[in-house]
Amino acid sequence: MHKIGLIDYGMGNIHSVTKSLEGLGEEILLIKNFNQTKSCKAIILPGVGAFDPAMINLINAEIISDLKNWIKSGKSFLGICLGLQLLFESSDEGKVQGLGFLKGNIQKIPNLANQRIPHMGWCKLLPTKKNTLLKLEELNNWVYFVHSYHAIPNDFSIVAAQVDYGSEKLTAIIENDNLLACQFHPEKSGKTGEKLLRRWLSNIQ
């Protein structure tokens, strides 16, 4: 069992993430101040809602520099949904700068024929490289998405999995050393989500 810090900044799917991880036997600590993280083995940045209000809440919470230091230290980190998007430099959804931990920006999902926005529902993950969550030979890893914006990294090598969206492919998983983030909601993705969370947890040092 690990103690996992869940950043509580007023924009996260706190309840569902907590229940999901507690169901896997983990201890969850809601983090409002980084002094609380001393006993934590990993940190999760959840997120539901719009980019600018989320960034403003993080700024007001005065935890951004501590969060950056956590990631630089090599400790385990997981971003979920909006928690992935906030890691980048900017978003077309708003005007406030992102955390900038990753180079690139968040763009509106293209308006394609026969495809709806938001991109919502169950979709199959398509791994692009060996990564913590997925095995390249695995098939039929279906997970649950709800989003209208998607990540465009400057460096494609950090993209660990994508998902089909008509003729386009959208970023589904980012992995860069100890920093891991999912555009989908593993806590709402049934047995597949549980499997992916277990794999992340098994890699926590």
Model confidence band, residue 104 (pLDDT cutoffs 50, 70, 90): very high
- The rounded distance, in Å, linking the Cα atoms of 20 and 57 is 24
Average pLDDT over residues 57-61: 95
95 three-state secondary structure: coil
The answer to whether 62 is a known catalytic residue is: no
Average pLDDT over residues 19-44: 93
Catalytic residue among 2, 147, 150, 185: 185
- The rounded distance, in Å, linking the Cα atoms of 48 and 184 is 11
Catalytic residue among 26, 40, 81, 175: 81
Average pLDDT over residues 183-200: 96
Task: Point out which residues pair with 161 in neighbouring strands.
Answer: 127, 173
Catalytic residue among 26, 175, 182, 187: 187
Contact by Cβ (8 Å): 1, 202 = no
Question: How far apart, in Å, are the Cα atoms of 184 and each of 27, 41, 66, 98, 148?
Answer: 23, 23, 25, 19, 12
Average pLDDT over residues 27-36: 91
As a whole number, the mean pLDDT across the chain is 94
Model confidence band, residue 109 (pLDDT cutoffs 50, 70, 90): very high
Average pLDDT over residues 17-32: 94
Domain boundaries, the chain: 3-202
The answer to whether 187 is a known catalytic residue is: yes
Annotate 132-143 with b (16+ C-beta within 10 A) or e (fewer): bbbeeeeeebbb
Predicted local confidence at residue 158, as pLDDT: 98
pLDDT beyond 80 at 181: yes
Predicted local confidence at residue 56, as pLDDT: 97
Predicted local confidence at residue 145, as pLDDT: 96
Predicted local confidence at residue 113, as pLDDT: 61
The answer to whether 81 is a known catalytic residue is: yes
CATH topology of domain 3-202: Rossmann fold (3.40.50)
pLDDT beyond 70 at 152: yes
Asked whether the whole model's pTM tops 0.85, one would answer yes
Predicted local confidence at residue 163, as pLDDT: 96
Which value, in Å, is the radius of gyration of the alpha carbons in the chain?
A: 16
Contact by Cβ (8 Å): 178, 77 = yes
pLDDT beyond 90 at 127: yes
Q: What is the DSSP letter of 69?
A: H
Average pLDDT over residues 145-169: 95
